[in-house]
Amino acid sequence: MRVSDQTSRGSKMTRKFRMPNRRGFLLQGAAGIVAASGIPAIAFAQGRAPAMITSDKMRPAVPSGVMSGDIHADRAIVWGRSDRAARMVVEYDTTESFRNPQKIVGPYALEDTDFTARVDLTGLPADQTIFYRVNFVDLGDLKTPSRPYSGKLRTAPAAKRDITFLWSGDTCGQGYGINPEWGGMKIYETMRKLQPDFFIHSGDTVYADGPLESEKKLPDGTIWKNIVTEAKSKVAETLAEFRGQYAYNLLDHNVRNFNADVPQIWQWDDHEVTNNWSDSKDLSDDNRYQEKRVPLLTARATRAFFEYAPLRIHGAEESQRVYRKIPYGPSLDVFVIDMRSYRGPNTANRQTAESDQTAFLGRPQVHWLKQGLLASRATWKVIAADMPISLQVPDGKDAQDNPRFEAIANGDGPALGRELEVAGLLRFIKQNGIRNVVWLTADVHYTAAHYYDPNLAAFSDFEPFWEFVSGPLNAGTFGPNPPDNTFGLQVVWQKAPDKGQVNLPPSMGMQFFGEVKIDGRTDAMTVSLKDLGGTTLYKKTLEPAGV
Q: 91 Cβ partners below 8 Å, 6+ apart? A: 98, 101, 102, 103, 104, 132, 133, 148
What's the pLDDT score for residue 1? Answer: 61
Taking the C-alpha atoms of residue 409 and residue 390, their distance in angstroms, rounded to an integer, is 5
Q: How many CB atoms lie within 10 A of CB 17?
A: 16
What's the pLDDT score for residue 12? Answer: 31
Taking the C-alpha atoms of residue 515 and residue 196, their distance in angstroms, rounded to an integer, is 9
- Please name every residue paired with 394 in a beta bridge, in sequence order, or none if there are none: 405
Count the helices and strands in the chain (H runs, E runs): 8, 24
CATH code, residues 163-542? 3.60.21.70
Question: CB of 54 within 8 A of CB of 127?
Answer: no
Taking the C-alpha atoms of residue 281 and residue 396, their distance in angstroms, rounded to an integer, is 11
Task: Report the DSSP pairing between strands 536-542 and 380-384.
Answer: unpaired
Q: 297 Cβ partners below 8 Å, 6+ apart? A: 236, 237, 273, 274, 277, 289, 291
Instruction: Kindly list the domain boundaries of the chain, sorted by start residue.
Output: 1-45, 66-154, 163-542
CATH 2.60.40.380 correct for 66-154: yes
Cβ-based burial of 491 (10 A; exposed 0-12, middle 13-18, buried ≥19): middle
Residue-by-residue pLDDT tens, the chain, 547 positions: 655 443 333 333 333 223 333 333 333 333 333 333 333 332 333 344 433 333 435 899 999 999 999 999 999 999 999 999 999 999 999 999 999 999 999 999 999 999 999 999 999 999 999 999 999 999 998 888 999 999 999 999 999 999 999 999 999 999 999 999 999 999 999 999 999 999 999 999 999 999 999 999 998 899 999 999 999 999 999 999 999 999 999 999 999 999 999 999 999 999 999 999 998 899 999 999 999 999 999 999 999 999 999 999 999 889 999 999 999 999 999 999 999 999 999 999 999 999 999 999 999 999 999 999 999 999 999 999 999 999 999 999 988 899 999 999 999 999 999 999 999 999 999 999 999 999 999 999 999 999 999 999 999 999 999 999 999 999 999 999 999 999 999 999 999 999 889 999 999 999 999 999 999 999 999 999 999 999 999 999 999 998 6
Sign of the torsion angle spanned by Cα atoms 482, 224, 229, 510 = negative
Smallest CA-to-CA distance from 252 within 43, 505, 28 is with: 43
What's the pLDDT score for residue 21? Answer: 39
Instruction: Write down the pTM of the prediction.
Output: 0.91
Taking the C-alpha atoms of residue 360 and residue 100, their distance in angstroms, rounded to an integer, is 48
What's the pLDDT score for residue 2? Answer: 57
| Residue type present at position 521 | R
Q: 156 Cβ partners below 8 Å, 6+ apart? A: 71, 72, 73, 126, 127, 327, 328, 329
Residue 427 φ then ψ, to 5°: -65, -40
How does pLDDT run across 141-155, given as a tens digit for each residue?
A: 888 899 999 999 999
Helix/strand/coil (H/E/C) assignment for every residue in 467-481: EEECCCECCCECCCC
What's the pLDDT score for residue 500? Answer: 87
Taking the C-alpha atoms of residue 147 and residue 52, their distance in angstroms, rounded to an integer, is 10
